[in-house]
Amino acid sequence: MATGEIGTLNQDGKQVGGFFDWIISDSLTEPHFKAKIEALAFWLIEDVNPGQFDASFYQLQRGQLVLMQQEKVKADFPGCVTDKLIRHKITMAFV
């Protein structure tokens, strides 16, 4: 299991949103031990195309944000407003 403070979401080479307080946990009941990603809050800068994002995961280490992992993820944000922090848990999955 890995945890971190912040992550970013990109589509078509530009940042479109991000998320706070993320957890990547392995699921031993899923085929191929797929990992589940959960974040406790998120924001969108602009309307996004549903589906895939390039995600960057950061941890705070010695007062600095450190890039821990970059992966393609899939996530849905139905009917979400932009330019607001949404304090609602979201679930994502690696592609």
**Number of domains composing the chain:** 1
Q: What DSSP letter does each residue of the chain carry, written as one string?
A: -EEEEEEEEEETTEEEEEEEEEEEEE-SSSGGG-EEEEEEEEEESS---SEEEEEEEEEEETTEEEEEEEEEEEE--TTPPSSSEE-S-EEEEE-
Instruction: Supply the pLDDT for residue 36.
Output: 87
Instruction: Supply the pLDDT for residue 51.
Output: 87
Instruction: Supply the pLDDT for residue 81.
Output: 80
Q: Which domain holds residue 34?
A: 2-94
33 CB-near residues (< 8 Å, 6+ apart): 26, 27
pLDDT tens for each residue of the chain, 95 residues long: 889 999 999 999 999 999 999 999 875 555 555 788 999 999 999 888 888 999 999 999 999 999 999 999 999 887 778 888 888 899 999 88
- What is the distance between the alpha carbons of residues 93 and 73, in angstroms, rounded to a whole number? 5
